[in-house]
Structure 1
Amino acid sequence: MLDTLNFRHLYYFWVIAHEGSLAQASERLDLAPQTLSGQLASLEQAVGGLLFRRESRRLFLTDLGRTVLGYADEMFSVADELCQVVQSAPEDRPLKLVVGVSASIHKLIAYHLIEPALTLDRDVQLTCRTARIEDLLRDLARQQLDVLLTDRVPLTDAGARWHLHELGQSGISLFAAPALAQRLTPGYPASLNGQPFLANALDAPYLHQLTRWFSEQGVRLKVRAEIDDSALIKVFGRQGQGVFAAPTLIADEVCRQYEVACLGHVEGVTDHLYAITRTRQSTHPAVEAICRQRITARR
């Protein structure tokens, strides 16, 4: 169909439909009515049916005509937007940014990492996609993402082409609902022994360090739930279902937003944060803003 559909003929049809007659459309397009009539006939042949009924020198859309007009309205509306964009100065054009966010990253952390891109002098049209890093790396390779945010270094793939940017690191703290935190604070961290724990089911890298730290402290927690969504873990924690871990970088926001209390910092456990791009140097201003930031929060 695309091989036989002439988009100029479609545009003529669109003008005729909105003007209501060949005569008015010919004035707008500066074409002879006979020429328009011939172009319309060619389009009707291409789509396989009449687009107008002619009654008393007036044109009325057929069912097929109304269907074609609906699509034409969408197409030429988008085309008009495109013309406005390309005719504007480069610095005035909206900057599209598609960010892949590894599902294991805390949502508040993800916002902090993306925030520099939102402070540019240009409008940024942001799209965020959350998934496992393996899926996001495929999307990055297919140029469906501009940048990928993650908390782990991907396994090396000889055929993969990507570059890793270190964005910083954060210590890890433990949190619980206020009543549970008040009970556990005296004697922390020994008081954690036997307490329910809300674990990240996506096996965030810092969990291995955290498990070792618990063992060194002689603490054995009971895993109450394994949850693959960092925000949902905090909701369970707010309801008193157990202790959970989160980066110290967002400790104040976690306490305020989820109405929990911080039990304490975990010594020697660190969450590393990275951005992954297809090339070492990106020409995308928003990606550059994300990749050149450095964050650190140990306590």
Structure 2
Amino acid sequence: MDQLNLRHLYYFWMISREGSIARASEVLELAPQTLSGQLATFESSLDGLLFRREQRQLILTDLGKTVLGYADEIFALTGELTETLKLAPADRPLTLSAGISASIHKLIAYSLLQPAMALSRPIQLNCQTGGTEDLMLRLKRKDLDVVLTDRMPGLVDHGSFTAHPLAGSTISLFARSDIAERLKQGFPGSLNGEPLLANATNAPYFEKLMNWFSLQGVRMNVVARIDDSALIKVFGRQGLGVFAAPTAIRAEVCRQYEVEEIASINDVKDELFAITRSKDPAHEGVRAICEGGPGLQAS
């Protein structure tokens, strides 16, 4: 079978829903003989029976059950499409495909996307995380509308794309409450020899943080390298070490993970960018992200 006949699939689907060819023919306004012939043609193209007859009833075969499962999904989607197309163009959902660098904290990513989600026009959001260079290739192929990143990709340097600076944040250090209270005294010297939970995604802000430690003469003991920002905080909540996170989300970090801020480091900042294929994006949602709106605010 080189190509599926969707009309035949639809006839089969209606027969399955109505339970008989007679009832389906009434709904479809076709002669029962015509509908029966169309079903037979469909079964022939599939090289298998979709129904078997038991006491004048049509019972789905295993093949019929499989085909029906796909048909249900296909015609549910076509129903949604039909309803969407009935809407005025301005009321139709706008699809937004955003690539998010894995090193960006998920709470930060949510804040950066907020301006698009706050538009009066409904947004169908598709988020993909990964390495910045891989996401940039997807942006080039037009699989993505925008890439949110914390580093300036090489392709931008060559003028292939436009980088829109977004509101960033200073970086704070956090720990379980009893540990945080102890380390606040004599900071930053109090950090010497303390366990540190390191970000393993090569986040630029973490490299800046390590340089700041060096300038302060502080040497912490890296006890774990973790590429999941949420897991780092779970470890921190258990008292296994100090961890860093953007100051802009400190309230949520403290609430969600039951930790306390040790200090905010003004000299270390998490810089964020929205990368687009053009200087002035036509996509309404992308424009909202680039302009910032009510999303993340610099700290």
TM range (shorter): 0.7 to 0.9
1:202 maps to a residue whose letter is: T
The residue aligned with 1:110 is 109
Gapped runs of 5+ residues in structure 1? Answer: none
Which residue is 1:297 aligned to? 298
Equivalent in the alignment of 2:225: 226
TM-fit CA distance, 1:91 = 3.1
SS in 2 for 1:168: strand
Structure 2 gap ranges (5+): none
Amino acid in structure 1 at the alignment position of 2:43 = E
Q: Secondary structure at the match of 1:279?
A: coil
The reply on whether 1:238 has 2:234 as its aligned counterpart is no
CA shift, 1:273, in A, is 0.5
Residue 280 of structure 1 aligns to a residue in which SS?
coil
C-alpha separation between the residues in 2 aligned to 1:160 and 1:63?
A: 56
- 1:83 is aligned with what amino acid? T
- The answer to whether the 8 A contact 2:198-2:222 is kept is yes
Q: How well do the aligned residues superpose, as a CA RMSD in angstroms? A: 2.6
Cα contact 2:191–2:218 (8 A) shared by 1: yes
d(CA) in 1 for partners of 2:52, 2:254: 67
Q: Cα deviations across residues 164-212 of structure 1 (Å, max 9, x unaligned)?
A: 2111221122222221122121211122122221211112112232222
Q: 2:190 aligns to what? A: 191
Aligned equivalent of 1:215: 214
Partners of 1:112 and 1:130 in 2: CA distance: 15
TM-score (norm: length of structure 2): 0.87
Cα distance in structure 1, aligned partners of 2:12 and 2:79: 17
Asked if the contact 1:141/1:160 (under 8 Å) is kept, the reply is no
Higher alpha-carbon deviation: 50-59 or 20-29: 50-59
Structure 2 counterpart of 1:275: 274
Q: 1:221 to 1:2 in 2, by over 3 A?
A: same
Contact 2:184–2:190 (CA under 8 A) maintained in structure 1: yes
Count, aligned residues:
297
How much does 1:274 deviate? 0.8
Report the secondary structure of 2:147's partner residue: strand
Counterpart CA distance in 2 for 1:19 and 1:56 is: 17
Task: Find the aligned partners of 2:176 and 2:276 in 1 and give their Cα distance.
Answer: 38
- Letter aligned with residue 282 of structure 2: T
Letter in 2 for 1:274: F
CA contact (8 A) 2:155 2:161 kept: no
Describe the shift of the 1:269–1:36 C-alpha distance in structure 2 as closer, same or farther (beyond 3 A).
same
Asked whether the equivalents of residues 197 and 241 of structure 2 are also in contact (C-alpha less than 8 Å), the reply is yes
Q: Corresponding residue for 2:166? A: 167
- 1:1-299 to structure 2, matched below 5 A, reads 1-3=1-3, 5-53=4-52, 59-156=58-155, 161-293=160-292, 296-298=297-299
- Percent of matched pairs sharing the same residue: 59
> What letter corresponds to residue 79 of structure 2 in structure 1?
D
**1:79–1:174: structure 2 CA closer, same or farther, 3 Å change rule?**
same
